[in-house]
Chains A and B, each alone.
Chain A
Amino acid sequence: MSLSRCAAKPAAATGSRRSPSGLLQAWLPKLVLAPSIAISLFFVYGFMLWTFILSLTGSRMLPSYDFVGFAQYARLMANDRWWVASSNLVIFGGLFVAICLALGLLLAILLDQRIRQEGALRTVYLYPMALSFIVTGVVWKWLLNPGLGIQAMVRGWGFENFRFDWLVDPDMAVYTLVIAAVWQASGFVMALFLAGLRGIDDSILKAAQLDGASLPSIYWRVVIPCLRPVVFSAVMILSHIAIKSFDLVVALTGGGPGYASDLPATFMYAHAFTRAQIGLGSASAMLMLGGVLAILVPYLYSELRNHRHG
Chain B
Amino acid sequence: MDNVIRQRTLGARIARVSLYAVLILAALFYLLPLVVMLITSVKPLAEITPGTLLSLPREPTLTPWIKAWGEACTGMRCEGVGGYFYNSIAIVVPAVLISTLIGALNGYALTKWRFKGSELVFALMLFGCFIPFQVVLLPMAQTLGWLGLSTSRVGLILVHVVFGIAFTTLFFRNFYVAVPTELVSAAKLDGAGFLRIFWRILLPVSAPIIVVSVIWQFTQIWNDFLFGVAFSAHNSQPVTVALNNLVNTSTGAREYNVDMAAAMIAALPTLIVYVLAGKYFVRGLTAGSVKG
**Which residues of chain A have a CB within 8 Å of any CB of chain B?**
10, 13-14, 21, 24-25, 28-30, 32-33, 35-37, 39-41, 43-44, 46-48, 50-51, 54, 63, 103, 107, 110-115, 121, 123-136, 138-143, 147-150, 152-153, 155-156, 183, 187-188, 191-192, 195-200, 202, 205-206, 209, 215, 218, 223, 229-230, 233-234, 236-237, 240, 243-244, 246-247, 250-251, 254, 264-265, 268-269, 272-273, 278, 281-282, 284-286, 288-289, 291-292, 296, 300, 303-304, 306-308, 310
Cβ of B201 within 8 Å of any chain A Cβ, yes or no, is no
Q: Which residues of the other chain, B, contact A51 by a CB distance below 8 angstroms?
A: 135-136, 138-139
Q: Decide if A112 touches B1 in the complex (CB within 8 Å).
A: yes
Question: Are B134's CB and A125's CB within 8 A?
Answer: no
Are A47 and B140 interface neighbours, CB within 8 A?
yes
* 21 pairs from A and B in contact (CB 8 Å cutoff): A36-B102, A37-B121, A41-B124, A43-B162, A43-B163, A110-B22, A113-B19, A125-B26, A135-B266, A141-B247, A142-B256, A143-B36, A147-B50, A155-B51, A183-B29, A191-B282, A192-B289, A237-B289, A240-B130, A251-B247, A273-B230
Instruction: Indicate the size class of the contact surface on chain B.
Output: 35 or more
Whole-angstrom distance between the Cβ of A208 and the nearest chain B Cβ: 8
B281 touches A36 (CB 8 A): no
Interface residues of B (CB under 8 A from A): 1-5, 19-20, 22-23, 26-27, 29-34, 36-37, 40, 48-54, 102, 105-106, 109-110, 113, 115-117, 119, 121-128, 130-140, 142, 162-163, 165-166, 169, 177, 193-195, 219, 222-226, 229-230, 240, 243-244, 247-248, 256, 259-260, 263, 266-267, 270-271, 273-275, 278, 281-282, 285-286, 288-292
- Which A residues are CB-close (under 8 A) to B263? 135, 138-139
Quick check: A199 and B244 within 8 Å, CB to CB?
no
Give the contacting residue for A28; candidates B49, B194, B243; CB below 8 A: B194
Would you list the 7 A-B pairs with minimal beta carbon distance, nearest first?
A: A156-B51, A132-B223, A29-B113, A130-B274, A152-B50, A247-B225, A29-B109
| Residue numbers in B under 8 Å from A282 (CB-CB) | 138
CB distance from B222 to the nearest CB of A (A): 7
| C-alpha spacing A5/B282, complex, angstroms | 39
CA distance A43 to B79 in the complex (A): 35
A272: which B residues are within 8 A, CB to CB? 137-138
Partner of B51, one of A125, A153, A284: A153
Interface contacts beyond A138-B244, A142-B36, A156-B51: sample of 19 additional A-B pairs, CB < 8 Å, sorted by A: A10-B117, A36-B102, A40-B124, A40-B128, A43-B140, A130-B273, A132-B222, A133-B223, A139-B37, A195-B290, A205-B1, A223-B1, A233-B289, A250-B244, A289-B135, A292-B131, A300-B123, A304-B126, A308-B119
Main secondary structure of the interface of A (DSSP, over half): helix
What chain A residues lie within 8 Å of B256 (beta carbons)?
Answer: 142, 148
The answer on a CB contact under 8 Å between B223 and A123 is no
CB distance from B54 to the nearest CB of A (A): 6
B116 touches A300 (CB 8 A): no
Chain A residues with CB under 8 A of B31? 124
- State how many angstroms separate the Cβ of B15 from the closest Cβ of chain A: 9
**Across the interface, do B40 and A142 meet the contact criterion of CB distance under 8 Å?**
yes
* Contact B225 A133, beta carbon cutoff 8 Å: yes
Given contacts A272-B137, A300-B127, contact A215 B267 (CB under 8 A): no
**Can you name the residue of chain B whose Cβ is closest to the Cβ of A119?**
B278
Cβ contacts under 8 Å, A250 to chain B: 225, 229, 244
Min distance, Cβ B221 to any Cβ of chain A, angstroms: 11
Number of CB contacts from chain A to chain B under 8 A: 291
- Main secondary structure, interface of B, reads helix
Evaluate whether A143 and B33 lie within 8 angstroms (CB atoms) in the complex, with A29-B113, A40-B166 already known.
yes
Q: Are A247 and B240 in contact (CB under 8 A)?
A: yes
Indicate if the CB atoms of A281 and B138 lie closer than 8 Å.
yes
Residue of B nearest to A141 (CB): B247
Pick the contact of B121 from A33, A138, A215, A285 — CB < 8 Å? A33
Contact A107 B23 (CB under 8 A): yes
Distance, CA A265 to CA B139, complexed state (A): 16
Name the contact of A107 in the complex, choosing from B26, B40, B122, B193 (C-beta under 8 A). B26
User: Which residue of chain B lies nearest to A201 when distances are taken between CB atoms in the complex?
Assistant: B1
Q: How far is the CA of A250 from the CA of B281 in the complex (A)?
A: 26
* B286/A191 in contact, CB under 8 A: yes
Please tell me if the beta carbons of A125 and B30 are within 8 angstroms of each other in the complex.
yes
In the complex, A14 Cα to B109 Cα: how many Å? 15
* A131, B271: Cβ atoms closer than 8 Å: yes
Among B32, B51, B195, B244, which residue has its beta carbon within 8 angstroms of that of A134? B244
Residue of B nearest to A218 (CB): B3
What is the bound-complex CA distance between A229 and B289, given in angstroms?
9
On whether the beta carbons of B134 and A134 are closer than 8 Å, the reply is no
Is there an interface contact between B115 and A14, defined as CB atoms closer than 8 Å?
yes
